[in-house]
């Protein structure tokens, strides 16, 4: 079939297409992409979308499972084993170690911090690293400490696993693990709770806003509870150490009283 184009015109058009990147023929016959069809193609009628099946959780809800496992733990070692065996919290999948507790079980003061950091996850202990050193210095100032035999403290976290770098712990995570924390407090049986940070206050007091809550005694699970600024916050905001010192003196007075 003759195209009606002379050789040089056809060669120029071919070179132009090559310059545009069309360097390969995908059909034997040319197709005019700009030609308007005489009749628009009819689109097939779409079938009505079927509702996706709702995923149903089989078995007891995770919080109920956590509550039963926590209730069955008769001592702290049993509670630790129960927490390690609990598989419903997704935080566990991205954590390296279970962060359970540090210090002396049975101490009069139980400190509850926020969810574990990267360093705490690596060591498997709550409140270590620079924040932990600050914590030890704070309580050492009123003659309390993790390693002080006659005046120990007991330290744990709201959650036993570190959250991944892509997200913070969610309220659902805290709610799911709360039965274990409540059982932890019951088994450790301290005289006083120190809630360090917003997560601890929200979990046990139902409120947050630590800069306003700090220094004001409340009650959690039937025990006196003192909200305090987290040591990590004090490292970022050294001017807040005055408020932290006032809270420590309030704690000291409560223990003496």
pLDDT tens for 220-240 read 999 999 999 999 999 999 999
In three-state secondary structure terms, 22 is coil
> How confident is the model at residue 234, as a pLDDT?
96
Q: What confidence tier does 148 reach under pLDDT thresholds 50, 70, 90? A: very high
The chain-wide mean pLDDT, for the chain, equals 87
Confidence of residue 47 (pLDDT cuts 50, 70, 90): low
Count Cα neighbours of 73 within 13 Å in the Cβ-side half-sphere: 27
In this predicted structure, what is the pLDDT of residue 12?
73
Sign, CA torsion 23/27/33/35: positive
Q: pLDDT-based confidence at 55, cuts 50/70/90?
A: very low
Residue 11 has pLDDT above 90, yes or no: no
108-120 average pLDDT score: 95
φ/ψ of 84, rounded to 5, equals -65, -30
Strand, coil or helix: 218: strand
| Residues 220 and 204: beta-carbon distance below 8 Å | yes
pLDDT at 197: 92
What local confidence, expressed as pLDDT, does residue 46 receive?
A: 57
**Per residue in 24-41, pLDDT tens?**
666 667 666 666 666 665
User: Model confidence over 59-72: pLDDT tens digits?
Assistant: 679 999 999 999 99
- 176, 66 contact by CB (below 8 A): yes
pTM: 0.76
Domains contained in the chain, CATH given: 62-256 (3.40.470.10)
| pLDDT computed for residue 10 by the predictor | 75
Distance CA 127, CA 125 (A): 7
């Amino acid at each position: 079939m003759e195209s009606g184009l002379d050789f040089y015109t056809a060669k120029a058009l071919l070179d132009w297409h090559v310059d545009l990147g069309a360097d390969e023929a995908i059909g034997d016959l040319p197709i005019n992409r700009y030609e308007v069809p005489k009749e628009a193609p009819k689109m097939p009628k779409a079938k009505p979308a079927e509702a996706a099946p709702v995923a149903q959780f089989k078995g007891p809800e995770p919080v109920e499972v956590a509550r039963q496992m926590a209730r069955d733990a008769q001592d702290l070692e049993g509670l630790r084993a129960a927490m390690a065996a609990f598989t419903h919290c997704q935080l566990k999948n991205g954590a390296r170690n279970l962060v359970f507790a540090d210090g002396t079980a049975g101490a009069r003061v139980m400190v509850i911090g926020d969810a574990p950091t990267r360093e705490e996850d690596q060591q498997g202990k709550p409140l270590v690293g620079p924040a932990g050193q600050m914590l030890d210095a704070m309580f050492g100032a009123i003659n309390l400490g993790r390693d002080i035999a006659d005046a120990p403290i007991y330290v744990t976290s709201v959650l036993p696993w570190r959250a991944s770098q892509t997200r913070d712990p969610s309220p659902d995570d805290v709610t799911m693990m709360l039965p274990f924390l409540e059982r932890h407090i019951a088994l450790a049986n301290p005289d006083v709770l120190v809630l360090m940070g917003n997560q601890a206050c929200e979990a046990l007091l139902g409120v947050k806003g630590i800069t306003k809550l700090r220094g004001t005694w409340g009650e959690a699970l039937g025990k006196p509870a003192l909200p305090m600024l987290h040591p990590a916050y004090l490292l970022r905001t050294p001017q807040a150490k005055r408020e932290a010192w006032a809270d420590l003196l309030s704690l000291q007075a409560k223990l003496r009283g």
